[in-house]
């Protein structure tokens, strides 16, 4: 049995562990994409994740959403937060975008959310507006150095930029929609419904891909981590954080994801971290931190 001191230390460490796991989502895309088309990979990931969630739900005796409306709202969030977000990131990485740049673009979600809130009458502080400007300035600085000039696997093009931006808008819309329409429910059944909706949307897109999945150790490792580490592990950890009232600390640390991803990508894939890339990433992270901290 853990002592109260050990339990408190683990609770303080959990948000950092969650951010580290979230950062690996962009890494695993780069790791697995040489051997699989993105939609087929994600369809298998969704199916395996659902297969893991179902026995967990049955053994825990968790209740499913009780109304058709709630199922519909969860399905909509699944389409945006899984199919749209993950689909955009995976296609962008498959098209040559580096893990660091893809995480940097998607990491602007708090900035985009703040802009949307300002248009709905919500107050955005001067500190947040400064964060908005700095966040976009840092991103432009990084993209300008990689557009058409980056090395293999770390290059920005109009196509992969548009896919990464689709991922950014998808995760932002999905998050806002969930906050507005989805009632409180168990995260396990919510994830299962969302993943099912994402699978139904993704399956038809696999028919457009002619490339076959090349099952080898690297692809199986990427798939295993995507299902067990990201979908099940990340969701379980977030569930525990919410139950223990520590979800806010996760939000305050999300600006660390792009630098963390860039560092891991540099170690694993030799994605270059130039002075300009470092400055742009730091500027964006600082800008996002101003937006998130002011929102708290």
**Contact (CB, 8 A) for 264 and 23:** yes
Does a structural domain hold residue 189? yes
Taking residues 180-188, report their average pLDDT. Answer: 84
178 CB-near residues (< 8 Å, 6+ apart)? 73, 77, 81
Domain that holds residue 236: 9-295
Is the pLDDT at 43 greater than 90? The verdict is: yes
pLDDT band at 64 (very low <50, low <70, confident <90, very high): very high
pLDDT of the residue at 147: 76
pLDDT band at 124 (very low <50, low <70, confident <90, very high): confident
- Domain assignment present for residue 287? The answer is yes
Residue 165 lies in a domain: yes
- 19 — pLDDT class (breaks 50, 70, 90): confident
User: Does 2 reside within a domain?
Assistant: no
Please state the domain count of the chain: 1
According to DSSP, residue 216 is labeled S
- Residue 110 maps to a domain: yes
CA distance 226 to 46: 9
Domain annotation covers residue 288: yes
- Tell me whether residue 1 is in a domain: no
């Amino acid at each position: 049995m853990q002592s109260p001191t050990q339990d408190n230390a683990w609770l303080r460490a959990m948000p950092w562990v969650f951010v580290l796991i979230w950062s690996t989502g962009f890494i695993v895309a780069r790791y697995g994409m040489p051997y699989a088309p993105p939609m087929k990979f994600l369809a298998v990931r969704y199916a395996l994740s659902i297969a893991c969630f179902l026995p967990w739900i049955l053994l825990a005796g968790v209740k499913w959403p009780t109304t058709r409306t709630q199922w519909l709202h969860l399905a909509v969030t699944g389409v945006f937060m899984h199919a749209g977000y993950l689909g955009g990131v995976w296609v962008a990485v498959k098209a040559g975008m580096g893990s660091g740049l893809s995480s940097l673009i998607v990491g602007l979600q708090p900035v985009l959310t703040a802009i949307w809130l300002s248009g709905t009458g919500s107050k955005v502080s001067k500190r947040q507006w400064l964060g908005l400007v700095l966040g976009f300035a840092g991103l432009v600085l990084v993209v300008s150095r990689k557009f058409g000039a980056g090395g293999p696997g770390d290059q920005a093009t109009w196509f992969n930029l548009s896919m990464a931006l689709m991922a950014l808008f998808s995760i932002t819309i999905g998050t806002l929609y969930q906050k507005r329409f989805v009632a409180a429910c168990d995260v396990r059944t919510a994830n299962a419904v969302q993943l099912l909706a994402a699978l139904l949307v993704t399956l038809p897109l696999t028919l457009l891909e002619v490339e076959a999945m090349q099952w080898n150790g690297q692809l199986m490792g990427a798939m295993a981590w995507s299902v067990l580490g990201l979908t099940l592990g990340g969701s379980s950890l977030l569930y525990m954080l919410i139950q223990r009232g520590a979800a806010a600390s996760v939000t305050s640390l999300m600006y660390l994801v792009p630098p963390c991803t860039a560092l891991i990508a540099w170690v694993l894939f030799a994605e270059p971290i130039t002075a300009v890339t470092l400055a742009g990433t730091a500027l964006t992270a600082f800008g996002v931190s101003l937006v998130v901290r002011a929102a708290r």
